[in-house]
Amino acid sequence: MKADLCTMAPAVSADEGVVTVLSRCGASYNLTAEAAMRLSEELVRSAARARGQQRMSEPRTGDARSR
């Protein structure tokens, strides 16, 4: 799955306990600090999972077992 360019590198700001996420397409989301932290944790977990899946699908090079 390819990333949607609208959601890549959103602008994030915080003011008076509200976190605002603004996508490149102009969509704006206001979150509480707690909700933003939970979302951030989920994003990091999902990114790590995606990275692991990507690495598993790549051909192995320099594997010690293949020597």
Tens digit of each residue's pLDDT (9 = 90 or more) over 7-62:
678 899 999 999 999 988 889 999 999 999 999 999 899 999 999 988 888 887 76
Residue 23 lies in a domain: yes
Domain that holds residue 27: 5-56
22 part of a folded domain: yes
What ranges in the chain are assigned the alpha helix state H?
33-57
65, part of any domain: no
Does residue 64 sit within a domain? no
- Report if pTM > 0.75: no
Does 51 fall in a domain?
yes
**Residue 50 maps to a domain:** yes
Examine residue 26 and state whether it is found in any structural domain, yes or no. Answer: yes
Please state the domain count of the chain.
1
**Strand order of the sheet with strand 11-15?**
11-15, 18-22, 28-32
Higher pLDDT, 21 or 63: 21
